[in-house]
């Protein structure tokens, strides 16, 4: 139940969501890097403990903001594409809300929704391995106000108030906010320790202490910077996953969602993300997915990064420096739109690049194909200039 105008607005909201989430990730990276810079390379226990407390607080605060962004985006886009929405899971379920209130709630967290501007590329943060092109950066999101489901009064000249029915999600969410927060804090703690202090210890242990003191000091500072970038990248991923995980959790309980799909915000995803994009829509059931389900329900026949088999949740498939998002699919018509041309582009090339291969061999063939394709594209650009 949508119109061309509503579909266009949903796409505009999607772009604003991508920019807002990218801005949150970049801001988290910058703050985490600054916080790490205040910690000396000596790794004193007291200093490390103080850093860890502040770093966890940073992640939990910004992750909650990202979750609010995802909820507001989900509710608005569902209303635009189906004519119905869901309640904010943190509040009682009302009979209906106004479309104006949904727009307002989302705009508070995604300023680009009301003030679209041409995207500006963000310089890549230094990393230790090749990554996809960084996402464009929007203005820092405005701190959210308390979510409200009561109708907003339209401004003079606005369209008449439109009430949107509110649906109840299937099944009870068995994970309480306290349980979710405890789980997220544990994940943040272990990730930060592994990517920060433990990584620094490993790098320092590998230093050649027979070199002159000046060179050792330089190498020690380089190790400190590398560990700092690593923990900052993990901080950004954990913050952005607050939104990504929320989308996948809501979609799995939503009867008006056929499945979900991965979208690149850059147009130049890494080989791993390109593989996941090539799956197209991942359907929740054979009834919703039809003949495509057998191929789409798992990650390319269940192959993960290491070649192990088995399906896993879409919300967990995001690496450091990844700018992709997960988006719910409400209809076949939605998936057939030009918005998912990149998914179809990679789907066609996956079949060609991996023909005759399976498992880790297929992943290796795909990575080789992406690497060669990017090299050819670079040569073409050079020849035309």
C-beta contacts of 255-258 below 8 A and 24+ residues apart = 255/167, 255/169, 255/170, 256/78, 256/82, 256/84, 256/167, 256/330, 257/284, 257/328, 257/329, 257/330, 258/283, 258/284, 258/288, 258/289, 258/329, 258/330, 258/331, 258/332
- Does 290 have pLDDT greater than 50? no
CA 313 to each of CA 26, 218, 252, 295: distance values in angstroms, whole numbers, following the listed order: 24, 42, 10, 15
Confidence class of residue 316 from pLDDT cuts 50, 70 and 90?
A: low
Q: What is the pLDDT of residues 115-157, one digit of tens each?
A: 766 544 444 433 333 344 444 444 444 454 544 544 444 444 4
The tokens for 361 are 């061999």
| Residues 189-213: tens digit of each pLDDT | 999 999 999 999 999 999 998 899 9
- CA 35/CA 29 separation, integer angstroms: 10
The strand pair at 282-283 and 259-263 is best described as antiparallel
Q: Judge whether 283 and 259 are in contact, CB under 8 Å.
A: yes
Give the model's pLDDT for residue 362. 93
Give residue 40's pLDDT. Answer: 83
**Taking a C-beta distance cutoff of 8 angstroms, is the pair 346, 267 a contact?**
no
Give which of 286, 295, 265, 231 is closest to 138, Cα–Cα: 265
How much is the pLDDT for 12?
Answer: 96
Read off the pLDDT band of 303 (50, 70, 90). very low
What is the predicted pLDDT for the residue at 195? 96
The domain locations on the chain are 4-256, 258-385
If you average pLDDT over every residue of the chain, what do you get?
82
What number is the average pLDDT over the span 344-360?
A: 93
For the stretch 319-339, pLDDT in tens is: 999 999 989 999 988 988 999
pLDDT in tens, 11-36: 999 999 999 999 999 999 999 999 99
State the CB neighbour count (10 A cutoff) for residue 332: 12
Instruction: Give residue-wise pLDDT tens across range 263-287.
Output: 998 999 999 999 999 988 877 764 4
Place of tokens 């992406």: 370
For residues 73 and 32, the answer to whether their CB atoms sit within 8 Å is no
């Amino acid at each position: 139940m949508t119109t061309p105008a509503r579909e266009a607005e949903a796409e505009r909201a999607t772009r604003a969501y991508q920019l807002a989430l990218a801005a949150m990730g970049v801001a988290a990276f910058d703050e985490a890097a600054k916080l790490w810079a205040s910690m000396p390379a000596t790794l004193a226990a007291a200093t490390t403990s103080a850093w860890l407390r502040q770093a966890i607080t940073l992640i939990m605060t910004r992750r909650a903001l990202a979750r609010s962004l995802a909820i507001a985006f989900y509710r608005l886009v569902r209303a635009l594409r189906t004519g119905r929405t869901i309640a904010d899971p943190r509040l009682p379920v009302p009979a209906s809300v106004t479309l104006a209130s949904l727009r307002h709630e989302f705009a508070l967290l995604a300023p680009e929704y009301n003030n679209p501007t041409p995207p500006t590329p963000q310089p890549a943060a230094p990393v230790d391995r090749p990554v996809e092109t960084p996402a464009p950066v929007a203005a820092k999101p405005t701190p959210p106000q308390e979510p409200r489901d009561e109708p907003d009064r339209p401004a003079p000249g606005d369209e008449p108030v439109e009430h949107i029915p509110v649906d109840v999600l299937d099944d009870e969410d068995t994970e309480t906010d306290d349980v979710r927060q405890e789980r997220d804090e544990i994940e943040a703690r272990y990730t930060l320790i592994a990517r920060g202090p433990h990584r620094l210890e490993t790098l320092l242990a590998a230093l050649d202490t027979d070199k002159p003191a000046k060179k050792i000091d330089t190498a020690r500072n380089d190790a400190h910077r590398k560990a700092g970038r690593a923990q900052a990248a993990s901080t950004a991923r954990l913050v952005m996953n607050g939104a990504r995980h929320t989308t996948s959790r809501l979609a799995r309980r939503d009867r008006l969602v056929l499945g979900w799909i991965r979208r690149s915000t850059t147009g130049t995803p890494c080989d791993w993300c390109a593989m996941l994009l090539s799956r197209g829509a991942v359907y929740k059931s054979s009834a919703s997915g039809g003949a495509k389900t057998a191929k789409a329900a798992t990650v390319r026949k269940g192959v993960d990064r290491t070649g192990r088999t088995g399906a896993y949740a879409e919300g967990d498939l995001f690496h450091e420096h990844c700018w992709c998002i997960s988006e719910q699919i409400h209809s076949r018509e939605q998936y057939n739109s030009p918005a998912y041309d990149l998914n179809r582009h990679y789907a066609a090339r996956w079949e060609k690049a991996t023909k005759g291969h399976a498992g880790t061999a297929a992943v290796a063939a795909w990575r080789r194909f992406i690497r060669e394709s990017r090299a050819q594209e670079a040569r073409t650009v050079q020849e035309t200039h």
